[in-house]
């Protein structure tokens, strides 16, 4: 059996389903192939919706509410009494949210005329996609264009093989039915910090082992240093320069061996989460004659517009170069759909926000101070602490700061870095400003509502030139 489409998308995660919907909106006959199964049912949404962004944020929110009720409400005059955690109920809430969102994608497909095809897709030569359903039946979809959006998988390491019982990956960490007394986390990246935060708030003693010497090396150093201080204050035991060399599971626990500056060390945990990164998911995806090449790291090779070396075949999201971020993949999906439809859409890769959903949140967009310094361009920096923001103090969320980096001669904003309340939303204000080429002065002259967390953004912009109002300035006022 063979069906002909203008566009076939392989994968219905954030990159794939957005690409499919946009293509259909542009009048292209579109099908989207998805292999994900959950509880015996085929579902859309990919990793992000089913075992990634959405379920992790549900647990982060639940755990934060518990932590506040147990430890923070008293200062507001709210007495809660004895607290307990119903982990199965928490997990059930998370699953309900996931099901709701997955159903939402199916509804959007129907509303936009996207044909949903469930099964494992494989790209053949000539823009053909072979789809093998769960029951083993096979159909072939023909298309003028194919968009590959198959996402990524957790990286496994031989020294701590995942057994889905005591040693788990990020997926398993979202399914725990009780709070581990002692939890180990390998990797102090985005996923490790978020998952460590979830179970730490619920009562686990959390130890995070990171092989690299620098905390959050991809972030601005000043923000990373401030973040580490906050996390340690919260009780996360983050050990840098700790390279895991082995693990042994015995009697329902795991003993982890690692090396640091003091030699070989050992720690025993009830559960161990391995989250050392993700890799592109291409297994079984490409037939030898598909014409699509992989780069030296296993990613599908694409140009600036996400076109592969095979004409009419495109790839977006985690499976291609660049940061593995859902919103980056979504925008690539839109770009590709519009280019297929004949538009000259391009994407600004210099302004992609990056967020860590701990509490407080950490967010950044643009260049770090270290990157600007390395470039040799003259620059100025403005910082402002949340402790000087009335809204933050009133909400008991006064930790952290906003940092803005601007060109010293043109005053154009080059980057913004935040650790603090609502950082994910605040950094987006600066991202919009950067997209329109705004200067620090432009942001500083904008009227911000009071009292709001976002006033910290305005004050940091004013501080670039020593004009901050609500703190002493380090620079001479002009």
Backbone angles phi, psi at 156, to 5 degrees: -95, 150
Helix (H) or strand (E) holding 233: helix 221-234
Contact 97, 54 (CB under 8 A): yes
DSSP-assigned states of every residue in 321-374: SS---HHHHHHHHHHHHHHHTT------TT---EEE-SSSEEEEEE--HHHHHH
Q: Which two tokens stand for residue 41?
A: 């049912």
Overall size of the chain counted in residues? 478
Question: Active-site residue 450, yes or no?
Answer: yes
Q: Which residue has the tokens 């609502």?
A: 422
C-beta neighbour count of 464 within 10 angstroms: 26
Distance CA 255, CA 269 (A): 6
Helix (H) or strand (E) holding 457: helix 455-463
Judged by DSSP in three states, 302 sits in: coil
Distance CA 135, CA 200 (A): 42
Distance CA 340, CA 347 (A): 15
Distance CA 222, CA 278 (A): 26
Beta bridge partners of 354: 364
Helix (H) or strand (E) holding 38: strand 37-38
Contact 304, 322 (CB under 8 A): no
Which DSSP category does 297 fall into? Answer: T
Catalytic residue from among 417, 450, 467, 470: 450
Distance CA 169, CA 162 (A): 7
Helix (H) or strand (E) holding 142: strand 138-148
Distance CA 36, CA 46 (A): 6
Which DSSP category does 280 fall into? Answer: E
Using the CB atoms, write b or e for 309-343: b if 16+ within 10 Å. ebeebbbbbbbbebebbbbbbbbbbbbbbbbbbee
Q: Which residues are catalytic?
A: 450
């Amino acid at each position: 059996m063979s069906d002909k489409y203008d566009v076939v998308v392989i994968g219905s995660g954030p990159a794939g389903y957005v690409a499919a919907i946009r293509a259909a909106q542009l009048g292209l006959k579109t099908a989207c192939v998805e292999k994900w199964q959950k509880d015996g049912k085929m579902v859309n949404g990919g990793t992000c919706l089913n075992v990634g962004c959405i379920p992790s944020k549900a647990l982060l929110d639940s755990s934060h509410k518990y932590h506040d009720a147990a430890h923070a409400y008293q200062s507001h005059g709210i007495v809660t009494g004895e607290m307990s955690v119903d982990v199965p109920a928490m997990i059930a809430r998370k699953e309900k949210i996931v099901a709701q969102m997955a159903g939402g994608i199916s509804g959007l497909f129907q509303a936009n005329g996207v044909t949903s095809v469930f099964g494992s897709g494989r790209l053949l030569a000539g823009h053909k996609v072979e789809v093998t359903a769960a029951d083993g039946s096979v159909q072939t979809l023909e298309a003028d264009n194919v968009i590959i959006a198959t996402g990524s998988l957790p990286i496994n390491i031989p020294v701590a093989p995942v057994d889905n019982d005591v040693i788990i990956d990020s997926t398993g960490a979202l399914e725990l039915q009780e709070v581990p007394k002692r939890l180990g986390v390998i990797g102090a990246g985005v996923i490790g910090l978020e998952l460590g935060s979830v179970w730490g708030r619920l009562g686990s003693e959390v130890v995070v082992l990171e092989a690299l010497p620098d905390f959050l090396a991809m972030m601005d150093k000043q923000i990373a240093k401030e973040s580490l201080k906050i996390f340690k204050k919260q009780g996360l035991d983050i050990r840098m320069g700790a390279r895991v060399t082995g693990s042994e599971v015995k009697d329902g626990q795991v003993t982890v061996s690692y090396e640091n500056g003091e030699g070989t060390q050992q720690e025993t945990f009830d559960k161990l989460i391995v989250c050392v990164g993700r890799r592109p998911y291409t297994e079984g995806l490409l037939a030898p004659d598909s014409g699509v090449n992989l780069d030296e790291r296993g990613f599908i090779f694409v140009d600036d517009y996400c076109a592969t070396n095979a004409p009419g075949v495109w790839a977006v999201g985690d499976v291609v170069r660049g940061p593995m971020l859902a919103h980056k993949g979504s925008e690539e999906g839109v770009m590709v759909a519009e280019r297929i439809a004949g538009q000259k859409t391009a994407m600004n890769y210099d302004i992609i926000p990056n967020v860590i959903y701990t509490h407080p949140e950490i967010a950044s967009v643009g260049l770090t101070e270290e990157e600007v310094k390395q470039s040799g361009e003259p620059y100025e920096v403005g910082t402002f602490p949340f402790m000087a923001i009335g809204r933050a103090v009133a909400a008991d969320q006064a930790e952290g700061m906003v940092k803005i980096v601007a060109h010293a001669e043109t005053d154009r904003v080059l980057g913004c870095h935040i650790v603090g309340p609502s950082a994910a939303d605040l950094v987006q204000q600066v991202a919009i400003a950067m997209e329109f080429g705004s200067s620090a002065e432009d942001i500083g002259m904008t009227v911000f509502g009071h009292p709001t967390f976002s006033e910290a953004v305005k004050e940091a912009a004013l501080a670039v030139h020593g004009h901050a109002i609500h703190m002493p300035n380090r620079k001479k006022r002009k």
